Chains A and B, each alone.
Chain A
Amino acid sequence: MIAALTLASPVRRDLLIRGGLALGLVAVLLLAALALPPEGPPVSALSRNLGPSLAHPFGTDSLGRDMALRTALALATSIKVGLFAAVLSTAVAVVFGLAAASHRLADRLVGVATELALGLPHFVLILLIAYAAGGGMAGVILGVGLTHWPRLTRVLRLEAQTVAASDYVAVSRGLGRGPVWIARHHLAPHLLPQIVAGFVLIFPHAVLHEAGLSFVGLGIPPHLPSIGVILADSLRALMAGHWWVAVFPGTGLMLVALTVERFGEALRRAADPTEGVA
């Protein structure tokens, strides 16, 4: 897809900068989570409810745990859940999109399913699936993963249909090329960039919804680090004026979602052959 990455065009430069930021942030958080003790920072009676300081840049919570470490661990959990859910959603979108493009009845069914999934309130559907799957980590991944495919499915279905009906595919057929060759040489190069961009754009949604689910208690179990759990815990601390317990984890979540979202947008623009790299 990205044949020769040079700094030639602003689209490419944008893609490099945003991609570097997003991948760097995700990599740093995942590595930090590996280096840190999985049970999180130690409980300490001596350092309860401390505001931000040099020793604890994000402050400490009511159990004396360092919020910077908790935030990093929680973000890493969110990223892992987000990755699994985004992979699941993308896989569903690819299967549905290709099925819709290759068969008329499948196209009808996928169309109805897509409209239905888009028509239902998003979060309610996630809640239902997560609840039905028994909550916990698997519930979040299934809930988020099975609700984020419709937009990408639409994009892939349209793109696949456009390619299949194009003059250049007709020319290739006339020159003796079979359906497998056409799928490999015409369809795949058009769909792959859309799939990559779609995956990256689903990811921030998945991360935010994971936090939402955990916040209402249907997501990550409370003993594991998660932004949703931290924010739910922080409600009482906020009443007591301990703002740092909510502000830093919340900002961290927003930052991760925003950086990846901007990377996805840059990818999508670069995927358009009339605008970016081919």
Chain B
Amino acid sequence: MLSAEDIRHGFGGRDVLRGVSLRLAPGEVLGIGGASGAGKSTLGRILAGRTRPEGGRVRWQGSGLPDRGPCPVQHAPQSPDAATDPRWTVAKILANGGPPDAGALAALGIRPDWHRRLPGELSGGELARVSLARMIRPETRVLICDEITAQLDALAARDLWQALMPLARARGLALIVISHDAGLRRALAARDTVLTDGRLCPA
């Protein structure tokens, strides 16, 4: 479904990704780990079509990712604060890609009384749920979770994953769990990989 072939990318003369290839089947949960600066987030952004790689290509069902319209691969960044416009209400954030998915909102525990608030008026865990919920849409087939619980306390992180995983399974959504936390990846992902020296190796 989603595949990457020989992805190469660097910053300022430093090669971060040196030929990364992967395949993701529908509904699969893949873990990607690695040290800080190993290129986990860069790879995540490339897979979602947010960054154009210097070499190699990302394929979606045999061709490139669509240029316009909603992308089937959604990238959820680490900080929900940075990923939500501070001037938008929660209602507007949730309706960004179209009318919000009531089932997803309920599954992620998004309360109706949040809708009139601004992102700054929600806790980190609450905002993380809002940020995720808007990406779970009929068009979305892959959700790249890029350290989405790294800024949360253990309890809020556990609650979030416990809400997200059944929802993803019910929707047939494939997940890429990017995290430096090997324990978390092992608990969530059927297949776990690690980025080392710019290459993706089985963990």
A residues whose Cβ falls under 8 Å from a Cβ of B: 166-168, 170-178, 185-186, 189-190, 273-274, 278
Chain A residues near B86 (CB, 8 Å)? Answer: 273-274, 278
Given that A167-B79, A274-B120, A278-B118 are contacting pairs, would A175 and B87 also be in contact in the complex, using a CB cutoff of 8 Å?
A: no
Chain A residues near B88 (CB, 8 Å)? Answer: 185, 189
Interface residue ranges of B44-82 to A (CB < 8 Å): 48-50, 68-71, 74-75, 77, 79, 82
Partner of A176, one of B50, B69, B79: B69
Asked whether, in the complex, the Cβ of A174 is within 8 Å of the Cβ of B82, the reply is: no
Cα of A275 to Cα of B1 in the assembled complex, Å = 45
Cα of A13 to Cα of B131 in the assembled complex, Å = 32
Chain B residues near A185 (CB, 8 Å)? Answer: 85, 88
Chain A residues near B134 (CB, 8 Å)? Answer: 171, 175
Chain A residues near B71 (CB, 8 Å)? Answer: 174-176
Cα of A178 to Cα of B96 in the assembled complex, Å = 12
Chain A residues near B69 (CB, 8 Å)? Answer: 176
Given that A273-B118, A273-B120, A278-B118 are contacting pairs, would A177 and B96 also be in contact in the complex, using a CB cutoff of 8 Å?
A: yes
Asked whether, in the complex, the Cβ of B79 is within 8 Å of the Cβ of A172, the reply is: no
Q: Main SS of chain A's interface residues?
A: helix
- How big is the B interface, by class? 20 to 34
Asked whether, in the complex, the Cβ of A189 is within 8 Å of the Cβ of B87, the reply is: yes
Tell me whether B32 is interfacial, beta carbon within 8 Å: no
Q: Main SS of chain B's interface residues?
A: loop
Asked whether, in the complex, the Cβ of A171 is within 8 Å of the Cβ of B120, the reply is: no
Q: Which residue of A lies closest to B121 (CB)?
A: A278
Chain B residues near A177 (CB, 8 Å)? Answer: 96
Asked whether, in the complex, the Cβ of B118 is within 8 Å of the Cβ of A175, the reply is: no
Nearest CB of chain A from residue B67's CB, rounded to whole Å: 11
Chain B residues near A178 (CB, 8 Å)? Answer: 68
Nearest CB of chain A from residue B83's CB, rounded to whole Å: 4
Cα of A278 to Cα of B86 in the assembled complex, Å = 8
Cα of A274 to Cα of B119 in the assembled complex, Å = 10
Asked whether, in the complex, the Cβ of B70 is within 8 Å of the Cβ of A174, the reply is: yes
Partner of A167, one of B70, B74, B83, B135: B83
Given that A176-B68, A278-B86, A278-B118 are contacting pairs, would A171 and B49 also be in contact in the complex, using a CB cutoff of 8 Å?
A: no
Chain A residues near B135 (CB, 8 Å)? Answer: 171, 174-175
Asked whether, in the complex, the Cβ of B77 is within 8 Å of the Cβ of A171, the reply is: yes
Nearest CB of chain A from residue B120's CB, rounded to whole Å: 6
Cα of A278 to Cα of B137 in the assembled complex, Å = 28
Asked whether, in the complex, the Cβ of A168 is within 8 Å of the Cβ of B83, the reply is: yes
Cα of A174 to Cα of B135 in the assembled complex, Å = 9
